[in-house]
Amino acid sequence: MNDGKKVIGRYEVDNHWVVPYNELLRKYNAHINVEIVAYFYIVKYLYKYIHKGFDKASIVIYNQQDNVQSEVIDKIQQYLDCRYISSFEACWRIYEFPLQQRNPLVERLQYHLENQQVVFDDRDNIANIVSRVTEQRTMLTAWFETNAIYAKVRSLTYVEFPTQLVWIDSRKIWIRRKRGKSIRRLYYAHPTFGERYYHHMLLCIVHGPTSFTELCTIDEIIHDTNKAACIDFGLLDDDNE
């Protein structure tokens, strides 16, 4: 609220400058900071406060019979950086009530280049790596297989697939969605990732391929790389005029 008081210096300011002024201050008689999300640092500012973690408190432990003012204060001994839980949150956790919920479901779609789905260590035995059949069948390869079996789902891209089907991780298969909905997200791929980045682009626009080769096939032209397919799709510019 403007009380008419000003500080005369290089600028004339009043208490409108404390926080961005808005009508919510007067309506609720409280400190409310409203920011316009116009710059990227505003999003970072809001995200930091939402996800900064649990509340914490600094406490001091001492014997009430001791003369605290006369003794030497050992900060390492007396001050503890500890997690603070209010009585309401403590009861909520004791009774094991749900602390949060997420709706709708966010489906993180896995993807990889051809024959790069098995993760292994250099010290692993090659025979054990080859025998990992369950790891060779992934969310992406199962998508190819489902497109080959069911023609009705071939109108969907990889990103659109979870709108009508659900991934069962224990069985490594896609099944028909009976209820609910989900938000689909592909794992991020930076442009410096090379073929994986172009592979990411194709999965967002190609409908119903049954293999990695068909994913890179456009108008019956088979491209050797994902980048070449993206250029043919018009997703990238080349040096040709």
* Alpha-carbon gap, residue 207 to 165, rounded angstroms: 15
Taking only the tens place, the pLDDT of each residue in 181-193 is 888 889 888 889 9
pLDDT tens for each residue of 34-58: 767 677 677 777 777 776 766 666 6
What predicted TM-score, i.e. pTM, was given to this entire model? 0.58
Q: Where are the chain's structural domains?
A: 7-94, 105-233
What's at 27, amino acid-wise?
K
- The conformation of residue 124, written as its DSSP 8-state character, comes to S
CB neighbours (10 Å) of residue 125? 9
Cα–Cα nearest to 167, from 140, 132, 195, 194: 140
In order along its 241 residues, the chain shows pLDDT tens digits of 566 666 656 667 776 666 666 788 778 887 777 767 677 677 777 777 776 766 666 666 666 665 555 556 666 665 666 666 778 888 988 999 987 777 787 888 989 998 887 766 677 777 777 666 556 788 999 999 999 999 889 999 999 999 899 999 888 899 998 888 888 889 888 889 999 999 999 999 999 999 999 999 998 899 999 999 999 888 887 655 4
| Angle formed at CA 44 by CA 28 and CA 108, multiple of 5 degrees | 110
Tell me what percent of the residues of the chain surpass a pLDDT of 90: 27
